[in-house]
């Protein structure tokens, strides 16, 4: 029971921090709603941990419900890291194309001459 209370306190802290960041306009609305739903679902999962344990046992898993939730969370984190890596690669390609087109528009010699003149 103490663990549930501590976990709910942590979730409440992150929800308060999320609301504070939204009030300061540091988050987009989509990002805000994503994290809001994430933390609310986390709180529901904490409150329903006994039911999750029963469901996990009925499905034939040997671990407890919290272990299954941790495995699912870890898998989601790996998925998000994968998506982030894909997005970074896309940005890298776009940046390479942009730099290439800028280099073709202005010869390298004129850029170097500007640097020498500015010193």
pLDDT at 117: 60
Average pLDDT over residues 13-19: 95
Lowest mean pLDDT among 2-6, 38-42, 79-83: 2-6
Average pLDDT over residues 37-43: 93
- Tell me the pLDDT band of 108, cut-offs 50, 70 and 90: low
Number of domains in the chain: 1
Give the 3-state secondary structure of the chain: CHHHHHHHHHHHHHHHHHHHHHHCCCCCHHHHHHHHHHHHHHHHHHHCHHHHHHHHHHHCCCCCHHHHHHHHHHHHHHHHHHHHHHHHHHHHHHHHHHHHHHHHHCCHHHHHHHHHHHC
Domain extent for 6? 2-118
Give per-residue pLDDT as tens, 55-69.
Answer: 888 888 777 777 887
């Amino acid at each position: 029971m103490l663990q549930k209370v501590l976990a709910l306190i942590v979730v409440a802290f992150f929800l308060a921090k999320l609301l504070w960041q939204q009030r300061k306009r540091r988050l987009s609305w989509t990002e805000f709603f994503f994290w809001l739903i994430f933390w609310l679902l986390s709180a529901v999962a904490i409150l329903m941990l006994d039911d999750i344990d029963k469901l996990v046992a009925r499905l034939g898993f040997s671990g407890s419900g919290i272990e299954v939730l941790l495995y699912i969370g870890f898998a989601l984190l790996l998925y998000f890291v994968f998506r982030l890596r894909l997005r970074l690669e896309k940005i890298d390609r776009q940046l390479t194309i942009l730099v290439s087109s800028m280099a073709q528009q202005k010869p390298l010699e004129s850029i170097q001459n500007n640097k020498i003149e500015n010193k």
